[in-house]
Amino acid sequence: MFKTFISPFVAMGLLLAATLSGCGGGDDHPERPDRAEVSGTVTYKGEPIDKATVSFHPEAADGKAAFAITDAEGKFVMGTFETRDGVVAGTYHVTVTKMESTSAAQVSQDDPNYNPNPPPSVSKSLLPKKYSDPSKSGLQVTIDAEPIKDLKFELVD
C-alpha cells in the first residue's frame, strides 16, 4: 500500500492557509454598534482648515465619541473605533481644534546662551477658543443610520 507523508513545511503552509482564510472582508468586531459614514468640510473665515481635529462628543452617557483630521481642503471622514469607520447613531456636540506648537529657537551648544534643558514648547490654538469646548462651540449634529457626506462646519470669530 501507499504511505502518505506530508512534510512539516507543507503541514504548516496548510495550517497557515486555513487560519488566514477567515481574514479580510466582513466585520472583525461584530460586537461593535452599527455606524453611519459621516464626512464633510470645515472652514474658518471661509477658508478650509488643514490638519484640524474634528471631535464628536456624545450627549448620551453611553455614547461613543468619534474623531477625524481634516485634509488641505478642510475635508474629513469621521471614525469611531478606527480611522474613517463611521459614527454611531446619536446626538453629538462638536469641537474643532487646530494647535500650533511653539518652542524656543535652537541654539548651538557652543553659544553662551545654550540651555541643555530648554523650556517646554507651548501650544497655541489657531481657532477661537469656543470651538475647543463642546458646551460652548455651538456645533451640534444628530446622526442616524443614513450616511452624511456633506456636513459643513463654517467657523467664525
For the chain, which residues make up each domain, given as ranges? 33-101+121-157
pLDDT of residue 23: 47
Per-residue pLDDT of the chain (157 residues; tens, 9 = 90+): 555 554 555 545 555 455 444 444 455 788 999 999 999 999 999 999 999 999 999 999 999 999 999 999 999 999 999 999 999 999 999 999 999 987 766 778 888 878 888 777 788 999 999 999 999 999 999 999 999 999 999 999 9
pTM of the model: 0.73
Q: How far, in Å, CA of 117 to CA of 121, rounded?
A: 12
Query: What's the Rg (C-alpha) of the chain?
Result: 25
Cell 507543507, residue located: 10
Listed residue (54, 53, 64, 67) closest to 88, CA to CA: 64
Q: Amino acid identity of 95? A: T
18-23: long-range contacts, CB 8 A cutoff, minimum separation 24: none
**155: Cα within 13 Å, side-chain hemisphere:** 24
Q: How far, in Å, CA of 77 to CA of 26, rounded?
A: 20
Count of other CB atoms within 10 angstroms of residue 93: 18
Residue 88: strand, helix, or coil: coil
Q: What is the largest CA-CA distance in the chain?
A: 89
pLDDT of residue 104: 64
Listed residue (151, 135, 127, 128) closest to 50, CA to CA: 127
Which CATH code is given to the segment(s) 33-101+121-157?
2.60.40.10
